[in-house]
Amino acid sequence: MPLPLRSRAKAVAVSSPLPHPQPSKKRDILEDEARFLRSWFERPLVTGAVTPSGRMLARTMASYVDPRLPGPVIELGPGTGPVTDALVRRGIAPERLVLVEYNPDFCTLLRRRFPKATVIQGDAYDIRATLAGVLAEPACATISSLPLFTKPLEQRLDLLTAAHNLMHPDAPFVQFTYAVVPPIPAKSTTYTASRSNKVWLNLPPARVWVYRRP
């Protein structure tokens, strides 16, 4: 909220002060970073990132989802929910969100922050089994924040195939990475791949890759 002006005359003499983040919002951000850091120390190969995705990276990932298309939106590894929040701001109704998270503490947090979303504690790398019987119709997108480079290439390709099988044709599988190379090879005869510009405002800078199957 803007800081209170000292007087009406002061308001004429100077421009309005810049708004500052709400104390509760700043506290949530700090708490999320602490949760991620603790989770990373406990399970670095599962959590992958030391801090949650930044707002600009989350917004970039959400931008590839068209809220006008029917079907649920699958999110893999939502963590504390920064990308989930960006999806809601994008116009995706929370009821359409299917969040697959391995960390039980993050699941509890997600259920509190997004009570209308479907939160599933399970293995996102085995979404065939994890989402069996969950989806009533094909998904319109899959958004992934999983640390794919911790897994063999064969397992990454299998995840992409499984995700595409759960979605409409041409629906995007969206994945971010800090690496300079794509998390899943860009050249293939079974899917197409495109990438975003580097998101320099994220810490560390990241890039978004989008995979589609015709």
pLDDT tens, residue by residue, 9-49: 333 333 334 444 455 555 555 555 555 456 445 554 444 44
Residue owning tokens 């039980």:
104
The gap from C-alpha 18 to its chain's centroid, in whole angstroms, comes to 29
Q: Which pLDDT belongs to residue 9?
A: 37
Residue range 164-180: mean pLDDT, rounded:
96
Closest CA to 191 of 164, 151, 166: 164
Residue owning tokens 């979404």:
127
Residue 150 has pLDDT above 80, yes or no: yes
The DSSP code for 40 is: H
Amino acid type, 24 = S
Residue range 178-201: mean pLDDT, rounded:
96
Give the Å distances, CA to CA, from 51 to 110, 120, 166, 202, 207.
16, 22, 29, 10, 16
Residue range 128-152: mean pLDDT, rounded:
97
Radius of gyration of the chain (CA): 19
Q: Which pLDDT belongs to residue 214?
A: 86
Percent above pLDDT 90 for the chain? 72
pLDDT by residue (tens digit) across 69-85?
999 999 999 999 999 99
Q: Which pLDDT belongs to residue 24?
A: 55
Q: Which pLDDT belongs to residue 54?
A: 86
Q: Which pLDDT belongs to residue 14?
A: 39
Please report, for the chain, the start and end positions of each structural domain, with discontinuous segments joined by +.
26-213
Which one has a higher pLDDT value, 119 or 19?
119
Q: Which pLDDT belongs to residue 13?
A: 38
Q: Which pLDDT belongs to residue 36?
A: 47
Determine the CATH number of domain 26-213: 3.40.50.150
Q: Which pLDDT belongs to residue 29?
A: 54
Beta bridge partners of 74: 98, 142
User: How far is Cα 163 from Cα 94, in angstroms, rounded to an integer?
Assistant: 20
Q: What is the mean pLDDT of the chain?
A: 84
Q: How many CB atoms lie within 10 A of CB 67?
A: 15
Residue range 129-156: mean pLDDT, rounded:
97
Give the Å distances, CA to CA, from 192 to 20, 25, 35, 169, 173.
42, 39, 35, 12, 10
